[in-house]
Structure 1
Amino acid sequence: MLDPRLRSDPHQSRGRLHDEDDRGPRGPRDAFQRDRDRIIHSVAFRRLRHKTQVFVAPDGDHYRVRLTHSLEVAQIGRAMARTLGLNEDLTEALCLAHDLGHPPFGHAGEDALEAAVAHAGGFDHNGHSLRILTLLECPYPGHDGLNLSWETLEGLAKHNGPVSAPGWALAKVDVDHGLELSSHASLEAQLAAIADDIAYDNHDVDDGLRAGILDLQALLEVPIVARHWRAIEARHPGLDPDRKRAALVRDMIGTMVGDVLAETRARITASGVGNVDEVRAAGRTLVGFSPAMAAEERALKKYLYANLYDSDPLQPIRRGAKNVVTGLAQVLIERPDLLPAGWVRGEGETAHLRGMTDYIAGMTDPFAIARHEQWVGPVDLEAKF
C-alpha cells in the first residue's frame, strides 16, 4: 500500500458549497460516501441505462450501455484503490459520475450538439457532467445541485489532467467552487481516468466481437491481444470460442490493472510526493501505464478506432443518430415555445441555446427518438449487425 498520507481523507475535505442541515436521518456515512450515494440516486445516473456506449439501438440486450460501462469502471477503479490504499468511496464516486454529461447516442450525439450550439460556447460532456451535479439535479430544498464535496467536483473536472482552457460550463462551475484547474487532481481521480480506459478498451473488444464487427483473426494482429490469446490457448487447449473470448477480456483487464499498480508505485516513489497537496503540485500524472503497456494500449485503441468506432457497419447508424440530435436542435431553435418551461434559462439567444442544450443532453436515446418523431419526422436507427 501507498503512504496513507496520499489517500484523500473525507474528514479533511475542503467541504461543500452550501452548509447542510444534518438534523434529519443521515446514517453513518462520511463525505465521500454521501457523494457516491447522491450520484447513484440521481436522475442523471438512472438515465444512463438508455444512453449509447458504442452501439446505437443495439439488436440485443448483451451490449454495454453508459450505465453498465460506468458500473464496470467503478469496479475496476475501486479494486485498484483498495490495493493501493487510496479512498475507495471517492474513487467509486468519480467512476460512477464520469459519463453523466453524455447526451443521447454517445459521441455521435455530442458531435451534433457541439456543432448546433458552437456559436453559444459549444458543448463538452465533461463540463456538462459538472453542470448536472452543481445545477440541474435539484433534490434538496435549500439549493440547486447535489452539493458534492470539493474533492469530488475537482476530480471530475480534472480526472484527465489539468484544464488550461475550460469551456463555458466548466468555467462557470469553477467560479463558484475554485477547482484549481491548472493543477493535477487526486490520485483517486487519476485512478478513475485510467479505469475508464481499461474498461472501454477491453469491453469494446468484447462487444465488437459479439456483434461480428471485429474480426478475431485480424484482431490477433494487435500485440497485446495476440499475447493473451496464445496464453489462453496454452492453458486451455480446445476451449469453446465464447469462453475464450471472455477469458481474453478478463486477462487483458488483469494485465492492465497489474501494470498500472506497479507503474503508479514506481512513479510515486520517484516523485517523492508525501501527501495529497504534493500530488496536486507534482506537475505530472502519477497514475498510469508503464511505457511498454502504454504503447500496447495505444496500438489497441488505434485498431478499435479503425475497425470498430469508425467502421462501415456503424457509420449509417451514427449518421442517423447525429441527424436526430441536429433535427431536435434545429426545431427547438426555430420553435423556442417547444422548450418546456423548466428548461428556460433566461432572456436572449445564448440563454435559450443553453437551456436547449441542457434539455437535449439530458435525453435518453428512446426519448430523443420519440421527440424527433413528434416534432421532426421518422427515425431509422435499426442496427445493421
Structure 2
Amino acid sequence: MTDLAPYACHADRSRGRLHPEAGGETRGPRDTYQRDRDRIVHSIAFRRLRHKTQVFVSPDGDHYRVRLTHSLEVAQIGRTIARALGLNEDLTEALCLAHDIGHPPFGHAGEDALEAALEAHGGFDHNAHTLRTLMLLESPYPRFAGLNLSWDMLEGLAKHNGPVLHPGWAMREVDALFPMQLDSWPSLEAQVAAIADDIAYDNHDIDDGLRAGLLTLDQLLDVPMVADCWSRVRARYPDLPAEKLLRELVREQIGMMVTDLLDHSRATIAAAGVGSVDDVRQAGGPLIGLSPALAARERDLKRFMYAALYHHPSQLAAASAARVVVTGLFAAYQADPCLMPPEWVAGSRADEPARSRHIADFIAGMTDRYAQKCHAEIFGDAAASA
C-alpha cells in the first residue's frame, strides 16, 4: 500500500507472526495485513457471525442486522476513515471484521450469562475471547494452533479500546504466548476500528429499531444530535414524506460523525507530533476520536438508545430468555460433558478451571439458533422458548 502516513502501520515493518511461515504458506501477491484480513474472512468463526445477535435475537425479518452484517458495515466506515487519514486500510479492515468474533450467542445477554457461569473460574470477556478464538481455538493449519495472525493485528484487537491495565485470565494467557504490550496505546488503525464500531451501531441500530417499531421518529427528535440532522435532511427534501427520509437521516448522521472525527483527529495527531506507530503507542492517550462537543452529543444518543431500545420491555424479555438458554447449557454440560459433540468431549478436562473454561469455549462459539437447538434437545422446546 502506497502513500501511507509515517505514523501508519506498514506491512513491511510488521513485527511478524508467532509461528514463522515460509514457502507454501504464503500464497499469492498479498502482504501481511492482507493475509490477516483474508484469514478472518475465510474463518469459521467469522461465518458464524451470520447467526449471532446484533440487536435482535434470531430476528425473523431478513433485513435486520446481525453480527456479520454489522462487522461488514464497521469495515466500510473504518476503511473510509483510514484512507482519509493515510492509515493502512487493509489492517483497519481486518481489525473491523474481526472485532466481534469473540461474542457468544445472544450478544451481551449471552456474555452476561457466561460471565456468571464462570464467576468462580475467572469470568468471561468477549474481547479476550476474540483473541482466544483466533490464537488458540480456530485451527485450520496443520502445524500450529490458531490463525497465526500478525502481532500488529492481535495487538490492535487486544487494545482497540485502549491499554489493558487489568487483563483477565484469557487475555493474560494469550499475552504470555505472544506479548502485546498491553499497557500502551494501540495503533491508529485499531483506534479507527473502535470508533468505526461506535459510529456503525449508533446509527444502524436506529435503523433497525425504527424498522421493528420499537423506536419512533418523534422519540428520536428529542435527541439534539438527531434533531439537527433531521432538520438538514428535511431542508434538502422538503416535499417528501417523513417515512421516505428515515434512512437518509441515518446516512446524514454517519456522514456528520465521520467528518467531525476526521477534522478532530487530524488536529489531535498534528498536536501530538507523532512520527511513527511507536510514537502513537507512547502518546499517552487516544489520537482518534470525535470532537468533545460531538462526543457529548453522542453520549446523549447512547443514553437514549439504552432507555428506548436496548432496555425496551420486549428486548429485556428476549435477553432473559437468552440467559436461560446459556445458563442451562452450561449447567447441563457441567453435569455431563458427553452431551457436547465428540470432538469437544475429547478435549474435556476433569480439573478446574480448565473444565469450565472448555465448556464456555464451546458455548461461546455457538450461533443463536444452534444454542436454541441444543437447549431444546436437552430440556425440550418449551424450555428453549421460555
Deviation of 1:339 after TM superposition, in Å, equals: 3.0
Match of 2:377 in 1: 374
2:355 to 335, 352, 362: 352
Contact between 2:36 and 2:150, CA under 8 Å: does it hold in 1?
yes
Superimposed CA distance per residue, residues 21-76 of structure 1 (whole angstroms, 9 cap, x where no aligned partner): 32357000000000000000000000000000010122311110000000000000
Q: How has the CA–CA distance of structure 1 residues 381 and 371 changed in structure 2, closer, same or farther, with 3 Å as cutoff?
A: closer
Deviation of 1:190 after TM superposition, in Å, equals: 0.1
Match of 1:126 in 2: 127
Q: Greater CA deviation, 370-379 or 183-192?
A: 370-379
Deviation of 1:349 after TM superposition, in Å, equals: 2.6
- Aligned equivalents of 2:279 and 2:132: distance in 1? 28
Contact between 2:52 and 2:58, CA under 8 Å: does it hold in 1?
no
- Aligned equivalents of 1:337 and 1:350: distance in 2? 18
- Aligned equivalents of 2:25 and 2:133: distance in 1? 25
Contiguous gaps of at least 5 residues in structure 1: none
1:35-184 paired onto structure 2 within 5 Å: 35-184=36-185
Q: How has the CA–CA distance of structure 1 residues 346 and 32 changed in structure 2, closer, same or farther, with 3 Å as cutoff?
A: same
Match of 2:224 in 1: 223
Deviation of 1:341 after TM superposition, in Å, equals: 4.1
Contact between 2:195 and 2:289, CA under 8 Å: does it hold in 1?
yes
Match of 2:266 in 1: 265
Match of 2:368 in 1: 365
Contact between 1:127 and 1:169, CA under 8 Å: does it hold in 2?
yes
Contact between 1:161 and 1:185, CA under 8 Å: does it hold in 2?
yes
The count of residues paired between Structure 1 and Structure 2 equals: 383
Contact between 2:155 and 2:186, CA under 8 Å: does it hold in 1?
yes
% identical equivalent positions: 60
Q: How has the CA–CA distance of structure 1 residues 241 and 200 changed in structure 2, closer, same or farther, with 3 Å as cutoff?
A: same
Contact between 2:154 and 2:180, CA under 8 Å: does it hold in 1?
yes
Match of 1:207 in 2: 208
- Aligned equivalents of 1:242 and 1:27: distance in 2? 48
Match of 1:19 in 2: 20
Contact between 1:320 and 1:380, CA under 8 Å: does it hold in 2?
no
Contact between 2:191 and 2:288, CA under 8 Å: does it hold in 1?
yes
Contact between 2:333 and 2:359, CA under 8 Å: does it hold in 1?
yes
- Aligned equivalents of 1:374 and 1:346: distance in 2? 24
Given the two structures, how large is their TM-score scaled by the length of structure 1?
0.96
Deviation of 1:336 after TM superposition, in Å, equals: 2.2
Q: How has the CA–CA distance of structure 1 residues 382 and 368 changed in structure 2, closer, same or farther, with 3 Å as cutoff?
A: closer
Instruction: Classify the secondary structure of the residue corresponding to 1:5.
Output: coil
Deviation of 1:379 after TM superposition, in Å, equals: 4.9
Contact between 1:369 and 1:379, CA under 8 Å: does it hold in 2?
no
Deviation of 1:345 after TM superposition, in Å, equals: 4.6
- Aligned equivalents of 2:235 and 2:332: distance in 1? 58
Q: How has the CA–CA distance of structure 1 residues 379 and 226 changed in structure 2, closer, same or farther, with 3 Å as cutoff?
A: farther
Q: Over aligned residues, Cα RMSD in angstroms?
A: 1.6
- Aligned equivalents of 1:370 and 1:23: distance in 2? 40
Superimposed CA distance per residue, residues 139-193 of structure 1 (whole angstroms, 9 cap, x where no aligned partner): 1011000000000000000000000111111110100111000000000000000
1:292-307 paired onto structure 2 within 5 Å: 292-307=293-308
Q: Which amino acid aligns with 2:249?
A: L
Contact between 1:134 and 1:147, CA under 8 Å: does it hold in 2?
yes
Contact between 2:375 and 2:384, CA under 8 Å: does it hold in 1?
no
Q: How has the CA–CA distance of structure 1 residues 183 and 24 changed in structure 2, closer, same or farther, with 3 Å as cutoff?
A: closer
Match of 2:198 in 1: 197
Q: Which amino acid aligns with 1:129?
A: T
Contact between 2:321 and 2:385, CA under 8 Å: does it hold in 1?
no
Q: Which amino acid aligns with 2:38?
A: D
- Aligned equivalents of 2:48 and 2:306: distance in 1? 26
